[in-house]
Amino acid sequence: MTAIPLARPDLSERESTYVNEAIATSWIASTGTFLERFEEEFASVCGTRHALAVANGTVALHLALLALGVGPDDEVIVPSLTYIASVNAVTYVGAHPVFVDVDPVTWCIDPAAVAAAVTSRTKAIMAVHLYGQPADMDSLMSIAREYSLHVVEDAAEAPLATYRDRPTGSLGHVATFSFYGNKILTSGEGGALTSDDDELIARMKLFRGQGMDLSRRYFFPVIGYNYRLTNIAAAFLCAQMDRRSELVARRLAIFARYTEALANVPGIGLQASLPDRTRAPWLYSVLVGEEFGCTRDELAASLAERDIETRPFFIPVHTLPPYASAAMDRVLPVTMRLGSQGINLPTYSQMTDAEVDTVCAAIAATQR
């Protein structure tokens, strides 16, 4: 095991207690009190009328686009600097991703680039809150209103963040979340959708459960999917929700310690802290510029030699084999720069101050 891993789930006796309760009651599949409780509590935290638990964040994206009616020959505007699931979901429904650049300050999808990319075929905007930073949602929603577009808020990396005093999950027409093992809130695998739209939630419920009519058992009006979450996974999430304040508080302290140590290191660029939004403290992310004296990959190799795990920023999706041929004409300079310079540092709530200091000292020792 790596001495200082990139991420580690924080599990306690509460998770064990809730999971054992689910087992004791025999409610281990896709119905049960923990599922109901989680959906109710998560909707409340996100400030929406509804939350829908699903198997993972990728299927959440798929369900959102399905329910919005995005389909063949439609276009969805997406940032290239994102995890590939944001784009794959677009192709699942037969639509075409239109890649745009990100903002150099927020690292999130650039509203000006979005407005320039709208065509008669555009159906939706995929607003990714990259590395915990909320995108400029007011600008994106204004564009959506002007052109009658849907906005999918991809909040996989940003639960519990806020934008202008509003929680992520409540900022678009529908939002998606991931509870993978390295996330702030985790059930190993898991996801959720949130929305205030009653009809949209009903359609997503229909598709989530194999397409079975919710009021007529074994009647299937549409082709659906088995995208349900188990009650056991929901038990994990209920425990994580109970502990969310302590989990976030410790991560924020880790973020603050990193910032204090790295703010004045030449060549290290920090993710912006903006006055109108609060980031979700997922992974502490920095840029390695020329002034640092070595490349991002050389820094990662040096830290690995010291038994410190890191992760590079996502490879821009428009350069990856499945999408490169369709995106040959896309010129995305900010995306390419961030994709080559960005690195994620170890961040998990059990991380000690001494471990943070070790990472920072190793970064300083690598500088040339």
pLDDT band at 358 (very low <50, low <70, confident <90, very high): very high
User: Residue 329 has what pLDDT?
Assistant: 76
Q: Averaged over 187-198, what is the pLDDT?
A: 98
The overall average pLDDT reported for the chain is 97
pLDDT one-digit tens code per residue, 284-343: 999 999 999 999 999 999 999 999 999 999 999 999 999 988 776 789 999 999 999 999
User: Residue 67 has what pLDDT?
Assistant: 98
Burial code of 220-231, b = ≥16 C-beta within 10 A, e = fewer?
eeeebbebbbbb
User: Residue 55 has what pLDDT?
Assistant: 98
pLDDT band at 1 (very low <50, low <70, confident <90, very high): low
User: Residue 325 has what pLDDT?
Assistant: 83
Q: Averaged over 214-239, what is the pLDDT?
A: 97
Q: Averaged over 248-259, what is the pLDDT?
A: 98
Statement: 13-100+107-242 belongs to CATH 3.20.20.140? no
Q: Averaged over 222-229, what is the pLDDT?
A: 97
Q: Averaged over 12-31, what is the pLDDT?
A: 96
User: Would the pLDDT of 228 be above 80?
Assistant: yes
C-alpha to C-alpha distances, 21 to 18, 126, 239, nearest whole angstrom? 5, 38, 12
User: Residue 345 has what pLDDT?
Assistant: 98
Q: Averaged over 75-102, what is the pLDDT?
A: 98
208 versus 329: the higher-pLDDT residue is: 208
How would you class 275 by CB atoms within 10 Å of its CB: exposed for 0-12, middle for 13-18, buried for 19 or more? Answer: exposed
User: Residue 330 has what pLDDT?
Assistant: 82
- For the chain, give every domain's residue range: 13-100+107-242, 244-366
Percentage of the chain exceeding pLDDT 70: 99
pLDDT band at 2 (very low <50, low <70, confident <90, very high): confident
Q: Averaged over 251-255, what is the pLDDT?
A: 98
Percentage of the chain exceeding pLDDT 90: 96
Determine the topology of domain 244-366 in CATH.
Answer: Aspartate Aminotransferase, domain 1 (3.90.1150)
User: Residue 340 has what pLDDT?
Assistant: 98
- How much of the chain is in helix, strand and coil states, percent to nearest 5? 40, 15, 40
User: Would the pLDDT of 250 be above 70?
Assistant: yes
C-alpha to C-alpha distances, 225 to 59, 68, 189, 220, nearest whole angstrom? 9, 16, 17, 11
pLDDT one-digit tens code per residue, 107-156: 999 999 999 999 999 999 999 999 999 999 999 999 999 999 999 999 99
Which helix (H) or strand (E) segment holds residue 146: the answer is helix 137-147
